């Protein structure tokens, strides 16, 4: 398996950090808003607008990192039982479908970002926040996700075509086994400390 270029990995990790910071800030905003409503009968102005936009960003900024680490749900029970040639063909078809779906979705989201910018689209709440920056972040997250997904799928196809991955084990299976072993060791370490 060819490794993902460093800049793509670094960018995806940066987006995860941004999502984490936004999540912390959103949590603090929500707690402050609830406390303000319960103690002083006054909520924070625009908290709903800010929360809505932040949630969209938080939800999608981690897509590429999850794809890099193989954390998206994948069920390949049928594919694992197919002959090598059929699995290789499916890997190529999957790569082409990812390319098509990624291009169509990215193009559609780009149109939404441009439209929101040109129309000066804002939220409906009190603050009337511009929506295009969050939609732009969504576009960047989707493009990065599809680049990583296509990279992984293409490399899986190339490995299968070249005979490097003829068994039922993929990098995701190896990673899941490593994570299970890490969890097992963590549980054992905790038991030994007691």
Q: What is the pLDDT of residue 168?
A: 47
**Per-residue CA distances from 99 to 92, 109, 143, 148 (Å):** 11, 15, 11, 11
Question: Is 137 part of any domain?
Answer: yes
Domain count, the chain: 1
Query: Which stretches in the chain have pLDDT values below 70?
Result: 1-2, 74-76, 165-182, 185-191, 193-194
Question: Is 84 part of any domain?
Answer: yes
Question: Is 31 part of any domain?
Answer: yes
**pLDDT tens digit string along 75-131?**
667 777 788 888 889 889 999 999 999 999 999 999 999 999 999 999 888 888 999
Q: Hey, which residues does 121 pair with through a beta bridge?
A: none
Question: Is 178 part of any domain?
Answer: yes
Question: Is 27 part of any domain?
Answer: yes
At 130 the three-state DSSP class reads: strand
Question: Is 88 part of any domain?
Answer: yes
pTM for the model stands at 0.76
Question: Is 169 part of any domain?
Answer: yes
Question: Is 1 part of any domain?
Answer: no
Domain range for 23 is: 6-193
Burial class (CB in 10 A: 0-12, 13-18, 19+), 191: exposed
């Amino acid at each position: 398996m060819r490794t993902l270029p460093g800049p793509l990995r670094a960018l995806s990790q940066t987006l995860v950090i941004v999502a984490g910071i936004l999540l912390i800030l959103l949590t603090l905003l929500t707690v402050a808003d609830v406390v303000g409503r319960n103690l002083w009968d006054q909520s924070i102005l625009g908290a709903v607008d800010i929360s809505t936009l932040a949630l969209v960003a938080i939800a999608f900024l981690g897509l590429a990192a999850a794809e890099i680490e193989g954390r998206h749900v994948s069920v390949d029970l049928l594919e694992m039982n197919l002959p090598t040639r059929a699995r290789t063909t499916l890997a190529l078809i999957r790569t082409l479908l990812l390319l098509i779906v990624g291009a169509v979705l990215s193009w559609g989201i780009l149109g939404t970002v441009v439209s929101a910018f040109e129309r000066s689209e804002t939220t409906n709440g009190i603050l009337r926040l511009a929506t295009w920056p969050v939609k732009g972040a969504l576009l960047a997250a989707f493009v990065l996700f599809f680049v990583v997904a296509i990279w992984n799928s293409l490399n899986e196809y190339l490995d299968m075509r070249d005979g490097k991955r003829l068994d039922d084990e993929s990098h995701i299976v190896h990673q899941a086994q490593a994570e299970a072993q890490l969890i097992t060791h963590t549980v054992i370490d905790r038991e030994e400390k007691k």
